[in-house]
């Protein structure tokens, strides 16, 4: 197990947790760094077998090595979650190597911050495909198995940008508002099958994802804070359903 006093090259401090997810299979998208890596690490420490994916094969390999050194059972599959063929291969390899996916964390996302009228159609497509369409595509592949088993957790990593607006945020906010709507409708569609669909909506997190000029990083949310919110969701009592977590820093950075 990784020593809590050591920090990984990804800037993540491992969290301790019990083995409450022993032998359960989790799939985390966009998990080569930042929030996705922290979530994968947390689920691994709780006993889950974890599949991780990313478009960056090099960083994905590094992430898998870090998780593996901590004794975790990890499968790393390079994949572009905006492509249905990549997702199908990812799901097939995960089930063959680890078993059926019981926990899906749709974390992959990109940012774009500029006035909407100055953005190109390609900018729109890139952000909406990654932040919204990918969640639809991955879930569409994984959900039928969860329905057959009549259980599962799907956690979509959103943003407080789904709750408010800000200058230069038009396309990004559109993707996250859409994601929140999709999450809530999926929750209603699937709760009758024993499947919980939840959203975690953090404010700005101290990762490489977005610029932090003028902010005190020590006061900002950390990737581990988002991972902890996911822990809360996957360890809730079977009769309860946490549909949404809004995550803010205690002090404004």
3-class SS letters over the chain:
CCCCCCCCCCCCCCCCCCCCCCCCEEEECCCCCHHHHHHHHHHHHCCCEEEEEECCHHHHHHHHHHHHHCCCCEEEEECCCCCHHHHHHHHHHHHHHCCCCCEEEECCCCCCCCCHHHCCHHHHHHHHHHHHHHHHHHHHHHHHHHHHHCCEEEEEECCHHHCCCCCCCHHHHHHHHHHHHHHHHHHHHHHHHCEEEEEEEECCECCCCCCCCCCCHHHCECHHHHHHHHHHHHCCCCCCCCCEEEECCCCCC
Residue 172 a catalytic site member: yes
Q: What is the pLDDT of residues 100-145, one digit of tens each?
A: 999 999 999 999 999 999 999 999 999 999 999 999 999 999 999 9
Which CATH class, in words, describes the domain spanning 25-247? alpha beta
Q: What is the pLDDT of residues 61-90, one digit of tens each?
A: 999 999 998 888 999 999 999 999 999 999
Name the catalytic one among 146, 172, 187, 249.
Answer: 172
């Amino acid at each position: 197990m990784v020593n809590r006093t050591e920090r990984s090259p990804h800037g993540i401090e491992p969290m301790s947790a019990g083995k409450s997810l022993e032998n359960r299979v989790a799939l985390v998208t966009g998990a080569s760094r930042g929030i996705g890596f922290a979530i994968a690490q947390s689920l691994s420490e709780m006993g889950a077998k974890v599949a991780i994916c990313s478009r960056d094969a090099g960083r994905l390999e590094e992430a898998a090595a870090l998780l593996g050194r901590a004794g975790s059972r990890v499968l790393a599959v390079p994949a572009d979650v905006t492509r249905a063929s990549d997702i199908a291969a990812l799901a097939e390899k995960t089930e063959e190597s680890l078993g059926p996916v019981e926990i899906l964390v749709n974390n992959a996302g990109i940012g774009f911050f500029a006035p909407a009228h100055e953005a190109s159609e390609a900018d729109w497509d890139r952000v909406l495909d990654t932040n919204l369409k990918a969640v639809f595509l991955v879930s569409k592949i994984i959900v039928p198995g969860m329905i057959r088993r009549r259980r599962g957790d799907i956690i979509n990593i959103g943003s407080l940008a789904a709750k408010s607006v800000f200058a230069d945020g038009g396309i990004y906010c559109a993707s996250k508002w859409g994601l929140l709507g999709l999450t809530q409708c999926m929750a209603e569609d699937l709760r009758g099958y024993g499947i919980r669909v939840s959203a975690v909506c953090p404010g700005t997190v101290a990762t490489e994802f977005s610029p932090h000029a003028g902010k005190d990083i020590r006061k900002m949310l950390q990737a581990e804070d988002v991972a902890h919110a996911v822990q809360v969701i996957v360890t809730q009592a079977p009769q309860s359903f946490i549909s949404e977590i809004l995550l803010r820093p205690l002090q404004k950075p």
